[in-house]
Amino acid sequence: MSEQLLNSPVKNISCRICRLSYLCVPHGLSKKELEQLDSVTKKKRKLEKNDFLYKDGEAVTSIYAVRSGSFKTITNNQGGEEQITGFQMPGHLLGLDGLGNNIHTCSTTALETSTVCEIPIDEFDRLCTGNKSLHRHTLRLMGKELYHESQMLLILGKMTGDERFATFLLELSNQHQERGLSAIEFNLTMQRRDIANYLGLSVEALSRLISKLQDRGILDVKHRNIKILNWDLLCKLAHVRQEQQMFRKVSV
């Protein structure tokens, strides 16, 4: 799968033949179950950069699978300041935050021209009621969201700026790898101020970190293009064992 594919205009493609289905569709669904999922999925909704997919406090009407482009999720802290809580790529599901009380607990905006597949929540609930595989898959995804939140607290509370940024880069690398893209060279769709906000850093501190990692020969950065030059050092900086990261086949 190429980066061009992930960012190309989306046609009305069935879940059964979509190349991203392994990321957002539960494994083990029968042909009939996939057809049922297809039947309630609105195949395409296009958003331009900075468009809201939904806002904090709005009623949940649908869940969404990112087909192309990328998004960021935002909430407000106790002081009313905006806090970015995550970035989402093709294959990610959006809208799970509101399944508990049917109210969205964050806002989601497009970082670039993006498209999503939309599943009305009433239809999704009906499918989950009669489909144990889909229900279990949804619970797993909600569990992953809770795990991500706990990891975010760890990053902000315990790690230095260097460690936070290194962890962020490795997470992006993993996500690109999962999508069949290069794990060591990729373009950032988010701006530096968004990354800084997400990591709890100032933009100036983030810029100094990037320069520092370039000087150490760990990264090569050209505008929004990132190339990891020294995988071992980046893993050490994030306190991740190198073998945990490199057991995957890295596509160059």
What's residue 122's pLDDT?
A: 86
pTM: 0.79
Angstrom distance (rounded) from CA 202 to CA 124: 40
- The number of CA neighbours under 13 Å toward the Cβ of 243 is 0
Give the H or E element holding residue 24.
helix 21-24
Instruction: Name the fold adopted by 3-157.
Output: Jelly Rolls (2.60.120)
The three-class DSSP label of residue 119 is: strand
Q: Is there a shared CATH topology between the 3-157 domain and the 160-246 domain?
A: no
What's residue 217's pLDDT?
A: 97
Amino acid present at 225: N
Report residue 210 as tokens.
């990037």
Give me the architecture of the 160-246 domain, per CATH. Orthogonal Bundle (1.10)
- Specify which residues 116 forms β-bridges with: 45, 66
> Which residue is associated with the tokens 């900086």?
237
Give me the residue spans of the domains in the chain.
3-157, 160-246
What's residue 243's pLDDT?
A: 45
Closest C-alpha to 122, from 54, 70, 61, 169: 61
Report residue 157 as tokens.
């509370």
**Pairing, β 42-47 against β 107-110:** unpaired
63 to 40, 43, 203: CA distances (angstroms):
11, 12, 33
Angstrom distance (rounded) from CA 173 to CA 103: 32
252 residues of the chain, pLDDT tens digit each: 334 334 434 455 666 656 556 556 655 566 666 666 666 677 688 999 999 999 999 999 998 988 889 999 999 877 888 999 999 998 888 998 887 889 999 999 999 999 998 888 888 888 778 777 777 777 777 777 777 767 766 766 778 999 999 999 998 998 899 888 899 999 999 999 999 999 999 999 999 999 999 999 999 999 899 999 999 999 999 887 554 454 343 333
What's residue 18's pLDDT?
A: 66
